Chain A
Amino acid sequence: MRRPRLAEFVVRSKRREYFSNVKLLTFMFQLLSMGLVLLNTRQALTVNSLVFSGLLIGLTYLSNVLVQRYTKGDNYLIMIANMLFSIGIVMIYRINPALGERQLLLYTIGVGAFFIAYYFLHYTGHFWENKTFFFLGISIAMLAVTLVFGRTLGGATNWIEVAGFQFQPSEFTKITFAFFIAAFYANHAFFKQKLGGSLFLMIATYILIGIFFLQGELGTAIVFFAAMICAMIAFDRSRLLLFANIGLALAGLFVAYRLFGHIQVRFEVWLDPWADPDGRGYQILQSMFAVASGGLFGRGIGLGQPGTIPLAHSDFIFASIIEEMGIFMGIAISLLYLIVFYRGLKISLSQTNPFYKVLALVISMMFAAQAAIVIGGVLKLIPLTGMVLPFMAHGGSSLLASFVMLGALQYSSVEQYPEVALEIKE
């Protein structure tokens, strides 16, 4: 039976009311928290910091409005990303105002990248849907370049410097890898006939993961693996391959553990950080002290000492936030990532175009895996992997890549019609 007409009106006005409330909540959070942070960092208070606060509030509001007006599809993704970003940047600014200002600049570029990604996919249409080898080639090339010319920072050879700008190619490989899996499953029939089906995907993924292990980048390797497994569960009927993969991964991890010193170190620190509390275990111990001293509601912004954790503004921002805003905020952040993941699955289920169906699934899985790995690592549930939380942590490459992926996810949520739009039963 059909719903009565009136209900649709009520729903539409209700939704508009909720939308404006959501924008208002983001605004209130930024206003109150930035107010506190400015009072707290009073020694560094200049006209710039007031301009910064104004820009922060204005830009996030603007992006909420612009995305709603100029893109079709899912409206929630950008609002959640903005909320996560707000929580993150307040913390970064509180720890180090200069880094906060830089983060805001990167955010502006990131939102630009969001729109560029959206409209790029919008206008180039179906051109990318069968460029499987192109995406794979780019992914491998980017990693190979890093391996040769890369610089080592924080235990991983994953930085590259071009014209004075440092960036992490592995963050951008996530984008091309997601497109690669999407193009692969969009042309699954072809690969099944010619190139061994999912075996091809497995080999390609393991080559990339192998390079990550050589670079010492454990986290991205796990994210790639999770994305591949997730796509296989959803789009491949063969369960045998799935179990073979999990077995292979365990075996591979064991071999890697034996081969590479840096992986052994990470496991040792995870199992017993007290063995070297002032050296290798220092970071995770400080993180756990921070989480413990936070309690349920935290100590209040400006009243804790998140600065004592090394990398408190990037890898360990989750611990810093829990220290000053509490476990409940930590739970809220996990929930926000969960909603992004749920939206991704929903988009993937309702999308009819096979390419964007896979793309949505892979991208949302990557966000979820990243969040799970980082949160687990900071809380010492799993070994540290050197990843950062998407949208929250300080870091240009990560923020930019996350926004490009979000733009692609946004485009995937636009209902695509088959070329022949009209099918009328006579």
Chain B
Amino acid sequence: MDTIISLIERIFYTKLVGSLDLYTILATLFKYVFVIIVMYFIYLIVRMIYLDIEQMPTDSRGSGAYLHLITQPSKLSFDVQREYPLYQVNSVGRDASNHIAIANPYLSGRHATIYLKDGSYFIEDLGSANGTTLNGQKVETALPLKNKDILSLGDVEFLFMVGE
């Protein structure tokens, strides 16, 4: 340890110019770096908060179909939205790249897809490990969805709502 200390002493505390040593130069440079780091940290946090606000779900009722959560969210250990608005094509799965991404361990990475065809929604299972059920019935082929159908994916249950 002593050799290391004396090495540090020699490298960082030898006077280079006048009373200036390497440590002083480093500390003086880094003080700007620290302020920049922390300010940039704040900038990123504010930026994320801004994204959250921008992304706040607008009321989807009345404009289209959506999935409404039935399962009590307090029983689940992962985040699930209360409502998922449905679009032309919606993939459901555990992977974050899905349109409806739910970190449920019972879901497959790409679990199912819900899509709009000729004015009505269909559900199709994408060969998931634990399957998808529609009103208690296992989804084998693409099935059409009616208003207030109960969909269960993994251990999360949704109600399919058409909207007004």
Interface residues of chain A, those whose CB is within 8 Å of chain B, are 2-3, 5, 8-9, 11-12, 14-16, 18-19, 21-22, 25-26, 28-29, 32-33, 36, 39-40, 42-43, 45-47, 72, 76, 79-80, 83, 87, 122, 125, 297-303, 324-326, 328-329, 332, 335-336, 339, 342-343, 415-417, 421-422, 424
* A49 nearest CB across to chain B (Å): 10
B27-35, B108-116, B125-133: which lies at the interface: B27-35
Are A18 and B39 in contact, CB atoms less than 8 angstroms apart? no
B141 lies within 8 A of chain A by Cβ: no
B122 lies within 8 A of chain A by Cβ: no
Q: Please classify how large the interface on chain B is, using the bins under 10, 10 to 19, 20 to 34, 35 or more.
A: 35 or more
Give the residue of A9, A125, A301, A343 whose beta carbon is less than 8 angstroms from that of B27.
Answer: A301
- Give the residues in chain A near B47, CB-CB below 8 Å: 18
Are B42 and A14 in contact, CB atoms less than 8 angstroms apart? no
- Give the residues in chain A near B1, CB-CB below 8 Å: 45-47
Q: Which of B34-68 contact A (CB under 8 A)?
A: 34-35, 37-42, 44-49, 51, 54-55, 58, 60, 63-64, 68
B140 lies within 8 A of chain A by Cβ: no
B137 lies within 8 A of chain A by Cβ: no
* B84 nearest CB across to chain A (Å): 11
Are B70 and A29 in contact, CB atoms less than 8 angstroms apart? no
Give the residue of A15, A299, A326, A421 whose beta carbon is less than 8 angstroms from that of B48.
Answer: A15
B23 lies within 8 A of chain A by Cβ: yes
- Give the residues in chain A near B45, CB-CB below 8 Å: 22, 76, 79-80, 339
Q: A14-B51, A45-B8 are in contact. Are A22 and B41 (CB under 8 A)?
A: yes
Are B30 and A297 in contact, CB atoms less than 8 angstroms apart? no
Give the residue of B41, B60, B70 whose beta carbon is less than 8 angstroms from that of A421.
Answer: B70
Interchain CA distance A298-B100 in the complex, whole Å: 49
- Give the residues in chain B near A9, CB-CB below 8 Å: 97
Interchain CA distance A346-B129 in the complex, whole Å: 39
- Give the residues in chain A near B44, CB-CB below 8 Å: 18, 21-22, 25
Give the residue of B4, B24, B72, B85 whose beta carbon is less than 8 angstroms from that of A417.
Answer: B72
Are A303 and B41 in contact, CB atoms less than 8 angstroms apart? no
- Give the residues in chain A near B79, CB-CB below 8 Å: 72
Q: A15-B51, A21-B44, A297-B35 are in contact. Are A424 and B159 (CB under 8 A)?
A: yes
